């Protein structure tokens, strides 16, 4: 698909419903580069009428795997990018009324490709760090609610996510070591 000429960024729907990969327009010159990384008007047109209330930044070592996380009663949409290094980012559709319920999708996000991923509310999300370190930054549509956090195991037998660095034992938080199976984890029920 050719980029629309009047848009600052290119919005590419992914195979999971409502997930969008965003490619900014990069202006290179003799000083370096410039790019817009977020515009509310374009974002709302292509991704939905969301607003953001919290920005996060994490740094992780190679082989770290964070996820798969979601908040059930305070679901967060996340607009994600990597500003240093490279990660493999994975989303899982946990919306029981979605045509892509139960499916996963992965994309490589890096400081080099400069792409952003829009992960709507209703998805579990995680990533694996492929570079020596990675800086991971994201905007959220709802606030962090520690009592509403759920974790699905990164290596869940039903989802069968094909992580890169297959032979590596990922570095996990204590919380992520106790992730639930996808089948047992609570899901997002239809709001209809
Ligand atoms: C996520 C988060 C954590 N924290 C604190 C809690 C804890 O002391 C420390 C580290 O928290 P965590 O181990 O939960 O961080 P982390 O494993 O990086 O959690 C994140 O993982 C990725 C995959 C996501 O999708 C995010 O939504 C978020 O769940 O930071 C906040 O203060 N605010 C926040 O929004």
Atom 26 (ligand 1) nearest CA: 69
Ordered by where they begin, the domains of the chain are 9-177 (2.60.120.10)
DSSP assigned state of 186: -
Tell me if the pTM is above 0.80.
yes
pLDDT of 8:
78
Is 69 an annotated catalytic residue? yes
**Average pLDDT score over the chain:** 95
pLDDT of 152:
98
Atom 1 (ligand 1) nearest CA: 144
Closest atom, ligand 1, to C-alpha of 54: 35
Closest atom, ligand 1, to C-alpha of 127: 23
Q: Is the pLDDT of residue 138 over 70?
A: yes
User: Which tens digit of pLDDT belongs to each residue from 28-43?
Assistant: 999 999 999 999 999 9
**Percentage of residues in the chain with pLDDT exceeding 70?**
95
DSSP string computed for 119-180: E-TTEEEEEEE-SSEEEEEEEESS---GGGEEEB-TT-TTT----SSTT---B--HHHHTPB
pLDDT of 167:
73
Pocket test for ligand 1, best of 57, 64, 67 (most atoms within 8 A of CB): 67
Is 143 an annotated catalytic residue? no
User: Which tens digit of pLDDT belongs to each residue from 61-82?
Assistant: 999 999 999 999 999 999 999 9
105: closest CA among 132, 68, 76?
68
Per-residue confidence at 168, pLDDT binned at 50, 70, 90? confident
Q: Is the pLDDT of residue 117 over 90?
A: yes
Q: Is the pLDDT of residue 2 over 90?
A: no
pLDDT of 41:
95
- Predicted ipTM of the assembly: 0.99
Atom 7 (ligand 1) nearest CA: 146
Q: Is the pLDDT of residue 192 over 80?
A: no
């Amino acid at each position: 698909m050719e980029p629309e000429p009047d848009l600052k960024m290119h919005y590419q729907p992914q195979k999971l419903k409502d997930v969008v990969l965003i490619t900014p327009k990069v202006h290179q010159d003799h000083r370096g580069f410039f790019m817009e990384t977020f515009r509310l008007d374009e974002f709302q047109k292509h991704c939905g009428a969301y607003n953001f209330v919290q920005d996060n930044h994490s740094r992780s070592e190679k082989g770290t795997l964070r996820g798969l996380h979601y908040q059930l009663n305070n679901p967060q949409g996340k607009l994600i990018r990597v500003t240093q290094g490279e990660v493999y980012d994975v989303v899982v559709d946990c919306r029981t009324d979605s045509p892509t319920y139960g499916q996963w999708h992965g994309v490589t996000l890096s400081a080099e490709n400069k792409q952003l991923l829009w992960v709507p509310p209703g998805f579990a999300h995680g990533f694996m760090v492929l570079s020596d370190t990675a800086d991971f930054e994201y905007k959220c549509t709802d606030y962090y609610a520690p009592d509403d956090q759920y974790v699905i195991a990164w290596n869940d037998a039903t989802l069968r996510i094909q992580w890169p660095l297959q032979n590596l034992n990922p570095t996990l938080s204590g919380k992520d070591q106790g992730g639930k199976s996808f089948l047992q984890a609570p899901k997002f029920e239809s709001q209809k």
